[in-house]
Amino acid sequence: MSLRLEKQGAIARLTIDRAAKRNAFTQAMWEALPPLLAEAMADPAIRVLVVQSAAAGVFSTGADIHEFSTGALDPEWRAMNQASIRAAQFELARAPKPVIALIDGDCVGGGCGLAIACDIRVASPRARFGITPAKLGLVYSLHDTKLLVDLVGPAQAKRILFSGQLLDAAEAQRIGLVEIVSSDVQSEGDALAAVIAENSPHAVRGVKSVVRRVLDGQADDDAETRQLFSDAFLGEDFAEGVAAFLEKRKARFK
């Protein structure tokens, strides 16, 4: 299977395993991603999802160009492919639990689209980033363009999309495309996932939902967000967090 979901404790891993093709995504892989994502989100034991490659040296080079170049000439296949890619990246961007992308090597095209749909990106120094529809005569989708603009701003997004050039990890971090660059990307990413997993799952999910509302255009609280804030004070996580603070111990959130 080119995509697989593995679970260990509070952390799940969505692993891309097609190294011979530099983790290029086929139609079948785009279709497989949302159900695997849903499985991780539905498991109450899972608090963080990590998206990574099974092999070092590449994250994903995007769509399988051999399949795409043939299939794209068929309107029915093209519509199916567009819907599958959108569903994968839309659902990933709106997953209720935190998602971290570990990026070692090339992260290009649809692979970069997957990375920007995650909450946090941790990259190795050899990672390279690019979104290349301008080199193929294509127009990048609005949803994915917004994900990019949300991260780097409109001017940098235009530079990335107009040029189709690859950015190294240092430049990607400088403009906000990557949050952390580490020579040991696996250990760095796993440590971050563990820290998040130890915090209140109710608080983390609540914060993520509020940030998504902001990114989707909401500028002030409504009845639902006010209720979310108020209800937290009555929850088990708040009681445990306060008790742990007063007792000078580590909180144990259920």
- Dump the DSSP string for 31-98: HHHHHHHHHHHH-TT--EEEEEESSTTEEE--B-HHHHHHHTTSHHHHHHHHHHHHHHHHHHHT-SS-
Strand-pairing partners, residue 103, are 123
User: Would you place residue 72 in the very low, low, confident or very high pLDDT band (cuts 50, 70, 90)?
Assistant: confident
pLDDT at 69: 83
Tell me the CA distances in angstroms from 80 to 8, 63, 71, 184, 198, one per residue in order.
34, 14, 10, 38, 40
Tokens 């099974």, residue? 54
pLDDT digits (tens, 9 = 90+) for 95-138: 999 999 999 999 999 999 999 999 999 999 999 999 999 999 99
Q: Are 147 and 117 in contact (CB under 8 A)?
A: yes
pLDDT at 189: 98
pLDDT at 68: 85
Q: What are the structure tokens assigned to 115, written together?
A: 């990375």
Please check the confidence at residue 66 and state whether its pLDDT lies above 90.
Answer: no
All domains in the chain, ordered by first residue: 3-196 (3.90.226.10), 199-246 (1.10.12.10)
pLDDT digits (tens, 9 = 90+) for 5-23: 999 999 999 999 999 999 9
Q: Are 145 and 128 in contact (CB under 8 A)?
A: no
Q: d(Cα 130, Cα 145) in Å, to the nearest integer?
A: 13
pLDDT digits (tens, 9 = 90+) for 135-187: 999 999 999 999 999 999 999 999 999 999 999 999 999 999 999 999 999 99
pLDDT digits (tens, 9 = 90+) for 188-214: 999 999 999 999 999 999 999 999 999
User: Would you place residue 1 in the very low, low, confident or very high pLDDT band (cuts 50, 70, 90)?
Assistant: low
* Minimum mean pLDDT range among 71-75, 119-123, 208-212, 244-248: 71-75
Phi and psi for 5 in degrees, rounded to 5?
-110, 130
